[in-house]
Amino acid sequence: MARYLRYAVVLAGALVMLFPFAWAVVTSVTPDGALLSTPPDFTPDNAGLSAYRRLLEALPFWRILLNSAWIGVASTLLQLVTSAMAAYAFARLPFPGRGALFAVYLATLMVPLQVLVVPLFIEMRTFNLVDTYFAVLAPSISSAFGVFLLRQAIAQVPREFDEAALLDGAGHLRIFFHVVLPLIRPALATFAVFGFMASWNSYLWPLVIIRSPEFMTIPLGLASLHGQFTTEWNVVMAGSVISVVPILILYVFAQKHVIASVAQSGLK
């Protein structure tokens, strides 16, 4: 009986989590005249894809989608490289002040992006990088959270593997690429999902640094659909549904590694 009760609680929680996504899909196919019907209708009459067509007419949506995709991929790859190398240094290389430096580095997690927006913008303006792709990427080249996550994963790799590689004549680069990285693939996949999602959903920094429509990303494109007096919510939800699909695909492919990483590291 207790097991069925747990299943019921988990099922109820899953339904609560899935409801916003289901409602977004329903709203995206709802015709204009039924958007404000009371009570809301989960099976609207004359459902169709007109909102998706209007979305493609209102915005260069495929260009916006491509911008977000390549910026997200580039940002994720850069964070994986810098975070993995820094994590290896903190986990394996003894140097004076390592613990203090790592604590200071982690302390940057408590500094919100809103505090850094003005200094970052001034820096980008000084180097004439405002309204460029590089300016969008610059703040996401490194990640304190990524260093913490990967350091924890590397710390769980037995040092005996390093010692065996050293006896075979391997240096730190070979140990890093051929011993450590293959053993922390679940953590790398988990961080890749988090990093890509953060870049894909980033709104504040692109809003500050981007001026030209051709550099617009998904969050900015969806925000531009909100009118001053009225908003076509079915069009907005159509854009939201399309924007969620790449994240779902990424998670489906990385799900096995994400679960393995959480199980191994004990992250909650």
- 3 in a structural domain: no
What burial class does residue 91 get, using C-beta atoms within 10 Å of its C-beta: 0-12 exposed, 13-18 middle, 19+ buried?
buried
pLDDT tens for 206-236 read: 999 998 888 899 999 888 888 755 678 888 8
Question: What is the band of 268 on the pLDDT scale with cuts at 50, 70, 90?
Answer: very low
pLDDT at position 262: 61
- CATH number (domain holding residue 128): 1.10.3720.10
Distance CA 42, CA 30 (A): 9
On whether residue 66 sits in a domain, the answer given is yes
Locus of tokens 């693939």: 185
- pLDDT of 267 > 60? The answer is no
CA distances from 183 to 100, 150, 171, 257, 260 (A): 27, 11, 17, 12, 12
Whether the per-residue pLDDT at 43 is higher than 80: the answer is: no
The boundaries of the domain holding residue 171 are 49-265
pLDDT at 49 over 80: yes
Which of 176, 196, 177, 203 is CA-nearest to residue 258?
196
| Tens digit of each residue's pLDDT (9 = 90 or more) over 118-157 | 999 999 999 999 999 999 998 888 899 999 999 999 998 8
Is pLDDT at 59 greater than 80 in this prediction? yes
Give the separation between CA 120 and CA 135, rounded to whole angstroms. Answer: 9
- Euclidean distance between CA atoms 154 and 88, whole angstroms: 7
pLDDT tens digit sequence for 172-208: 889 899 889 999 988 898 899 889 999 999 999 999 9
Is 58 a residue whose pLDDT tops 90?
Answer: no
Task: Give yes or no for residue 78 having a pLDDT over 90.
Answer: yes
Check: CB of residue 218 under 8 Å from CB of residue 238: no
Tell me if residue 171 falls in helix, strand or coil.
Answer: coil
- Position 10 in a domain: no
- Count CB neighbours of 28 within 10 A: 23
Number of domains in the chain: 1
Please report whether residue 253 resides in a domain.
Answer: yes
Q: What local confidence, expressed as pLDDT, does residue 263 receive? A: 60
**Other Cβ atoms within 10 Å of 145 Cβ, number:** 16
Helix (H, G, I), strand (E, B) or coil at 57: helix
Question: What's the rounded mean pLDDT across residues 4-26?
Answer: 88
3-state SS class at 210: coil
8 is a domain residue: no
Q: Does residue 189 belong to any structural domain of this protein?
A: yes
Note whether residue 31 is domain-resident. no
Predicted TM-score of the model (pTM): 0.84
Q: Give 260's pLDDT tier (boundaries 50, 70, 90).
A: low
Q: Residues 172, 93: contact at Cβ < 8 Å?
A: yes
For residue 60 the two structure tokens come to 């260069």
Residue at 23 is within a domain? no
